[in-house]
């Protein structure tokens, strides 16, 4: 069911770029390798990068039980999480009309820990699967000690908004005579050649899922 924005998710600048549709939000979260987690301790803001995975209606992040940041977030304080995918550099005919094509999500909420052992175990695998689908099955799963030292936090996707810019530069008519090339330089996160760990037998080839890795959407 499409929902409207809440007061804090409502996008006021360029509202034509806004979406509050969960399908749109989920697609951006699922593609991104990284999220940016902001919180405030005694009014002092901080933001850290971390990996994430969406599982159903929640976003999971993880970290060490010893992390001050994770422990702070685990106290249920408010959090704001942002994810941005860069799709292109928009070259306009004037400096102010230059822009970026992007897809971003901003999520407000508070975190609760995943404590059920099965759920927590699956969350660990999901974090790896999010980065590289097919990977978790071929490696050693977390043991009891590793499970214990890891904190997994979940933030419900109840208050999320997406913002998307796509398409060409929006130059006013008067600028069309500026004698310069205008358009979009598409950007994508691409994979280089796999670099094998020196400590492995050279007869193990890189896995298929590495060769056919593609982060960008298929559209």
> Is the Cβ of residue 29 or residue 37 nearer to a second copy in the bound state?
37
205 contributes a contact to a second copy by CB under 8 A: yes
CB 103 within 8 A of CB 145: no
In angstroms, what is the minimal distance from the CB of 96 to a second copy? 4
Q: Which of 192, 209, 190 is nearest to 86 (CA)?
A: 190
CB 116 within 8 A of CB 185: no
With tokens 């550099």, the residue in question is 89
> Is the Cβ of residue 2 or residue 140 nearer to a second copy in the bound state?
140
What order do you get walking across the sheet with 58-64 strand by strand? 52-55, 58-64, 150-156, 112-113
How many Å apart are CA 8 and CA 10, to the nearest integer? 6
Q: Show the site string, 98-137: x = touches a second copy by CB under 8 A, - = not.
A: x-x-x-x-x-----------------xx-xx--xx--xx-
> Is the Cβ of residue 127 or residue 154 nearer to a second copy in the bound state?
127
The total of other beta-carbon atoms located within 10 Å of residue 214's CB is 10
Is the alpha carbon torsion for 39, 42, 46, 51 positive or negative?
A: negative
55 contributes a contact to a second copy by CB under 8 A: no
**3 state SS of 193:** coil
Q: How many residues does the chain have?
A: 219
16 contributes a contact to a second copy by CB under 8 A: no
Nearest 5°: phi and psi at 160? -130, 145
Stretch that binds a second copy, among 19-27, 111-119, 153-161, 182-190 (CB under 8 A): 182-190
**Rg of the chain in Å (alpha carbons):** 20
- Among 117, 191, 214, 217, the residue binding a second copy under the rule CB under 8 A is 191
In angstroms, what is the minimal distance from the CB of 127 to a second copy? 8
71 contributes a contact to a second copy by CB under 8 A: no
In angstroms, what is the minimal distance from the CB of 151 to a second copy? 12
66 contributes a contact to a second copy by CB under 8 A: yes
In angstroms, what is the minimal distance from the CB of 125 to a second copy? 6
Stretch that binds a second copy, among 18-26, 38-46, 52-60, 152-160 (CB under 8 A): 38-46
Considering only residues 73 through 102, tell me which ones interact with a second copy, judged by CB under 8 A: 78-82, 84, 86, 88-89, 91-96, 98, 100, 102
Structure tokens at 76: 């249920």
């Amino acid at each position: 069911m499409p929902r409207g924005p809440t007061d804090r998710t409502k996008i006021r600048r360029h509202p034509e770029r806004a979406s509050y549709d969960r399908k749109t939000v989920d697609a951006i979260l699922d593609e991104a390798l990284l999220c940016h987690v902001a919180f405030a301790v005694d009014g002092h803001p901080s933001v850290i990068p971390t990996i994430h995975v969406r599982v159903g209606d929640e976003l999971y992040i993880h970290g060490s039980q010893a992390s001050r940041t994770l422990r702070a977030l685990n106290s249920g304080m408010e959090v704001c999480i942002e994810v941005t995918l860069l799709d292109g550099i928009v070259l306009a005919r004037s400096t102010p009309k230059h822009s970026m094509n992007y897809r971003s999500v901003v999520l407000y909420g508070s975190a609760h820990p995943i404590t059920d052992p099965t759920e927590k175990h699956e969350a660990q695998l999901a974090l790896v699967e999010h980065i590289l689908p097919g990977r978790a099955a071929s490696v050693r799963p977390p043991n009891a000690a590793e499970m214990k030292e890891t904190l997994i936090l979940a933030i419900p996707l109840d208050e999320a908004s997406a913002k998307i810019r796509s398409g060409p530069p929006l130059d006013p008519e008067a600028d069309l005579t500026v004698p310069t090339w205008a358009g979009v330089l598409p950007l994508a996160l691409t994979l280089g050649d796999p670099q094998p760990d020196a400590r492995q037998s050279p007869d193990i080839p890189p896995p298929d899922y590495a060769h056919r890795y593609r982060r960008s959407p298929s559209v």
